[in-house]
Structure 1
């Protein structure tokens, strides 16, 4: 039917307070904010909590609650949900400790009767915390208990993708699609197509996914993906239309606001873009968004405001660490934005040792280039582009590295490609690409 894989939507952590640990004792609940009470996910959390107050030994509901907390963390960016998810999932395993042994056989209650739900939830939590190797181990344990768990294959697909093992990720995603060909599997398939440069096929699959999306949040998610495809292709009109369609389905889906802010900036609607970024980073101050906001401010000559955003980005990374997570890739991007190239190299190198994802290769290549080590950067930059992703940023970085090494023909080719793909890809780097291309063309 389909032979492709996907990357994970890694949890981005915002500047929220921890909100209290989940607590090991059953019944240690925390009420959701009033604005979230109408959310179906919040209702499912409340129903699970009510069930566990009455039946605290219900290990399946503990596992479901833990999984819901992981999803809630993804949506809100609140790292406090990590702690609560971990507590709920481990309580489920305490009550029903059956699971696979290291050799893949099940222990406890016996093969096929283990607690695959809790193992899958812990795997999703590990992915969210960027511990992809642990996520792979947990997903494989869950699959050993229940070979028919589509959710476990989803966790495995995400982990393998981020670890830079696309062939294995493709196989896992295919198995997920075979087991349950719904939106989660289709989304992984579409992302993999995009990563391999097969954008038209990815768009077709996302359009197909619209037919399976019913909930407003699902519709918003798919429209967001279609908008991003248009954005990365430089089509501002189609991108804006997709983002607005998503907001019509779910006005609270924040990534759509991010898409519109980028489109506004690229369209010369500077006031609207700045207002959009300010509102977005206030609601969801993730490191990447804060750095992006800072770069826009810097491009407009507002250096002090840009530095304030970078300071908040560091605080967001610190908060992620308090929730048991880590993101050396985002930390490297922050170091690059601050001009601390040595730190960026160190952080990106550490991330590269853990996983061979193309984003990591690209960031490490750029950090090495900025640190004056372009010859070391070139193989990494070429490797980032080798999978086929149509990324203007990858092409720009490769072209600038080639330019530094005196390969004018290659530099002209890749700098032109970056602008052909998306002439608006960055308020800082797109103009730099145009200047560098003009310089390379004169040689």
Structure 2
């Protein structure tokens, strides 16, 4: 219980350099005290590994917890996260089936929503999150599911709906920092930039996560405020270093950042290593984009295709992923597919990035209209 409490405190405060090692020590002490059948500690270690983005370790601990107590339903959400991080969406779906056979309720519906979204089932995901929020037993739990519902609405390009979800989440739980950052995202898309900047600053002050610093930096850059953007980019590097002291794998975040704002060759090296260790869809997208930025469109196209291949579990409804694929296709001389994928990206969420959304629209305009089909010979 102590280890799990340290883990949750670390998640909510982002003070992971201190709190995650404390969580690990407590959980390992629990295993030493009761080495057999201690599914609680094993599941706690799986949750800690997922929080650190160490999905191979999360999978090992999660499988050990399942073996110790096969009917303990709280193990299966950890397995779903681990399988997803490893890019094994079929296994994640099987774990969800096992979870729903053992338990029902808001937590299960919320986990189901994530799996449905990854499989391209957007309406099912949104319905599951609505059920989870309606069935929550505390304001904080309801706020957590509303934040996820806001994120899904945002990813569909529904700015106003996303903002309403994020605002309600913060009203219910003022410490819901992900929802505050979500407000920044939605407000920027609505053109309310002063409010957006304020929302991001509040989220970063109370929960300083590298992703929030990256988003705020890109918002500043889109507004032409290069110096303010550099401050946030420097902050991102500092936050990643601090998180790494707590065992958090920040290579995906750093790779994404370096590809767009730093050294693309460094991004490729980081993300290749990450792909070898845990080949999830997010890593495939980031590696493909880094390869493009480094000038290797041929290999980039292979990874971008993995990230958007619906048949094999790719996040086909992700506007940023489709934007990356389209730009890589354009660089490879594939103007037709590039045009279609840019159109799809902007149809899904035309506001997906204050910095790269306008670039996507400009690229689509540069490709012109779809040429008419060639006439068949008479």
1:128 counterpart (30, 46, 51): 51
**For 2:291, what is the secondary structure of its paired residue?**
helix
**Could you tell me which of 55, 63, 67 is aligned with 1:140?**
63
Work out whether 1:119 is the aligned partner of 2:24: no
Shift of 1:422: 0.7
Distance 2:322 2:283 in 1: 15
Q: Which residue of 2 aligns with 1:77?
A: 14
Structure 2 residues not aligned, in runs of 5+: 372-378
Q: TM-score, normalising length from structure 1?
A: 0.80
Q: Deviations over 1:230-265 (max 9, x none)?
A: 111111121122122222222221111111111111
For residues 380 and 372 of structure 1, what CA distance do their matches in structure 2 show? Answer: 14
1:255 and 2:178 correspond = yes
Deviates more, 1:204-213 or 1:368-377: 204-213
Q: CA RMSD in A?
A: 1.4
Q: Does structure 1 residue 97 correspond to structure 2 residue 62?
A: no
CA distance in 2, matches of 1:284, 1:337: 24
Residue of structure 2 equivalent to 1:417: 344
**93, 96, 108: which one pairs with 1:185?**
108
How many angstroms apart in 2 are the aligned matches of 1:242 and 1:325? 29
Task: State the shift of 1:179 in Å.
Answer: 1.5
3-state DSSP class of the match of 1:130?
coil
Q: Secondary structure at the match of 1:251?
A: coil
User: Which residues of 2 match residues 13-412 of structure 1 at below 5 A?
Assistant: 64-79=1-16, 80-98=18-36, 114-386=37-309, 387=313, 388-412=315-339
Q: CA deviation at 1:288?
A: 1.1
Q: Are the equivalent residues in 2 in contact too, given 1:393–1:418 (CA < 8 A)?
A: yes
Q: Do the aligned residues in 2 keep the contact of 1:123 with 1:134 (CA within 8 Å)? A: yes
Separation in 2, partners of 1:182, 1:266: 34
* 1:259-303 Cα shifts (integer Å, max 9, x gaps): 111111111111111122222222222111111111111111111
Q: How many residues align?
A: 365
Paired with 2:99 and 2:11, the residues of 1 have a C-alpha distance of: 21
Partners in 1 of 2:201 and 2:131 — Cα distance?
34
Contact 1:399 / 1:415 at 8 angstroms: preserved in 2? yes
Deviation at 1:155, TM superposition (A): 1.5
Mapped contact 1:285–1:313 kept (Cα < 8 A): no
Distance in 2 separating the partners of 1:137 and 1:86: 15
Correspondence for 1:427 among 330, 354, 358: 354
TM-score when normalising by structure 2: 0.93
List alignment gaps of at least 5 residues for structure 1: 1-63, 99-113
Alignment match, 1:49? none
Mean Cα deviation higher: 427-436 or 119-128: 119-128
CA contact (8 A) 1:345 1:367 kept: yes
How far apart in 1 are the matches of 2:133 and 2:41? 30
Q: Secondary structure in 2 aligned to 1:120? A: helix
Q: Distance in 1 between matches of 2:129 and 2:46?
A: 26
**SS of the residue 1:150 aligns to:** coil
Q: Which has the larger radius of gyration?
A: 1
Instruction: Note if contact 1:194-1:389 (Cα within 8 Å) is conserved in structure 2.
Output: no
The offset of 1:74, in angstroms, is: 1.6
Answer whether contact 1:139 1:155 (CA < 8 A) is retained.
Answer: yes
As a proportion of its length, which structure holds more helix?
Answer: 2
